[in-house]
Structure 1
Amino acid sequence: MIDQRPARHIVVLAHPSPDSFNANVARTYCDTVRSCGQDAIVRDLYTLGFDPVLKDEERPRAEGITLSPDVEAELEMIRGADMYTLIYPIWFAMPPAILKGYIDRVFGAGVTAREIQERTGQGVLNGRHMLSIVSSGTREVWLDEQGQIESLRGLTSHYLLHAFGMKSCEHLHLGGVVEGFSRRFVDQALYDVHERARDVCAMLATERNAAAVSPPVADGS
């Protein structure tokens, strides 16, 4: 059966300030998605007061796991989205701890190390798309010289792509985000976000259309 609902984007924002550059990025992304006729739901981790600490009983093991109520509620909220978009700053060469905790507790819920190695995990990201929009105070050239760009792409693109069996995982870096930046700089950065969001929406629309015209699989019984 063809899904008639609009494509759905879960936007995970990891920045403590509601007036931050990252918050503006999230608003621009969501406004663009909605203007394209698709749905965007924001999960602002700091506003939610998300607990990033993985509990012992949540770790996958042979006898099973027991998910905490907050994780079960979050999975219910985000399950079935077409696109998962992470928006966060680089702090000391790494994503904020609250985002890492979200990956540990929510995206990784129930996925075992063996399933990661064999790419057989059936977590919430399986068969879905991801886009990481990352900001930093330094330019990409400098980060590249330190090996940070490749490291971040390795984490948020290559590793998560294969570990969780996603269809695609892309990366947009917005560098030079420092105090006193110009309005022109902000406008250009937000335009880049707008254009990437339009591209993502077009890709999802094309995917939906292709599924709608594909012939049904014959029943071999």
Structure 2
Amino acid sequence: MKMLIVYTHPNHTSLNYAFLQSVLKGSSENPYITDIKVIDLYKEGFNPLLVFNEEKRRRDMHIDPNTEKYRNQLTWADKIVFVYPIWWGRPPAMLLGYIDQLFASNFAYKDKKGLLPEGLLKGKSVVCVSTMKGPTHYPLLWLNNAHKVLMKKALFNFVGIKKVKFFEFGNMESAKGKQEKKLEKVYNYFKQLDH
């Protein structure tokens, strides 16, 4: 299994970075995971801004040379892992900018007759590891599960990815947040993953 990890947090001393290390440690000890690539969007200076004008058209996003290496990474991967904080009930703008540019028509999906398009990323799976300051059940109880609906239904299912796993950890700025236990949970998941 080839794994692509998309890490989105500006601070390498953050808890999110510790979760990235747990993913990497567990994955490196897993015999089913043969190759791992990591994209650190902030470190790479990824430009999340969409630009459309006379020279750059939306319909050509799937062949944009500026994002070719990222498209190649997504094509290469069997499993895509996103590690990010939840800010204001959703992923950071940096990650949303990556999604806006990479999950483009004629690369991630293809319009066809009917209500839904044809997903072009079928056969891949996704894991989202996210942290938030608020309580674990805050997105479910106060936001109608907006984060998971956004990521699973509006994005991944739309492009043909049906297998989506969430680790949505709350209370991460609290002394009682059980951070070590949650880091261990992520480590064990990736160590034991077999598909």
TM interval, short-chain normalised: 0.7 to 0.9
Q: Does 1:48 align with 2:47?
A: no
* Residue 175 of structure 1: aligned partner: 170
Root mean square deviation of aligned Cα:
2.3
Percent of residue pairs identical: 22
Unaligned runs of 5+ in 2: none
Paired residue secondary structure (2:66): helix
CA contact (8 A) 1:58 1:67 kept: no
Q: Which residue is equivalent to 2:118?
A: 120
Label 1:189 to 1:58 Cα distance change in 2 as closer, same or farther (>3 A): farther
Amino acid at match of 1:193: V
* Contact residue 58 and residue 66 of structure 1 kept, 8 A: no
Structure-2-length-normalised TM-score? 0.85
CA shift digits 1:13-42 (9 cap, x unpaired): 110001111111011101111110322211
Which one scores higher on RCO, CA 8 angstroms, separation ≥ 6?
2
Deviations 1:30-89 (A, max 9, x none): 1111110322211010001001112323522xxx55633220122223422110011110
Which residue of 123, 127, 131 corresponds with 2:127? Answer: 131
- Sort the Cα spacing of 1:14 and 1:70 in 2 relative to 1 into closer, same or farther, 3 A: same
Instruction: Quote the Cα distance in structure 1 between the aligned partners of 2:3 and 2:41.
Output: 16
Q: Are 2:19 and 1:22 equivalent residues in the alignment?
A: no
Pick the aligned partner of 1:196 from 182, 189, 195. Answer: 189
Whole-Å separation in 2 of the counterparts to 1:108 and 1:138: 32
Check 1:112–1:29 CA distance in 2 against 1; reply closer, same or farther (3 A cut).
closer
2:41 and 2:63 mapped to 1: Cα distance?
Answer: 18
Are 1:162 and 2:157 an aligned pair?
A: yes
Match of 1:153 in 2: 148
**2:138 aligned residue (135, 138, 142):** 142
- Specify the alignment match of 1:213 in structure 2: none
SS for the counterpart of 2:166 is strand
- AA aligned opposite 2:23: Y
Structure number having the greater helix percentage: 1
Q: CA deviation at 1:112?
A: 6.0
Asked if the contact 1:52/1:102 (under 8 Å) is kept, the reply is yes
Secondary structure in structure 2 of the residue aligned to 1:140: coil
Distance in 2, Cα, partners of 1:77 & 1:66: 14
How far apart, CA to CA, are the structure 2 residues paired with 1:26 and 1:118? 34
**Aligned-residue offset at 1:152:** 0.7
Please identify, of 164-173 and 110-119, the stretch whose mean Cα deviation from structure 2 is larger.
110-119
Structure in which a larger fraction of residues adopt strand: 2
CA distance, structure 2, for counterparts of residue 168 and residue 139 of structure 1:
25
Give the stretch that moved more between structures: 153-162 or 105-114.
105-114
Is 2:53 the partner of 1:59?
no
Q: Is the 8 A contact 1:9 1:41 kept in 2?
A: yes
Q: More deviation in 136-145 or 17-26?
A: 136-145
* CA distance in 2: counterparts of 1:78 and 1:113, whole angstroms: 16
Q: 1:171 to 1:85 in 2, by over 3 A?
A: same
The count of residues paired between Structure 1 and Structure 2 equals 188
TM-score (norm 1): 0.76
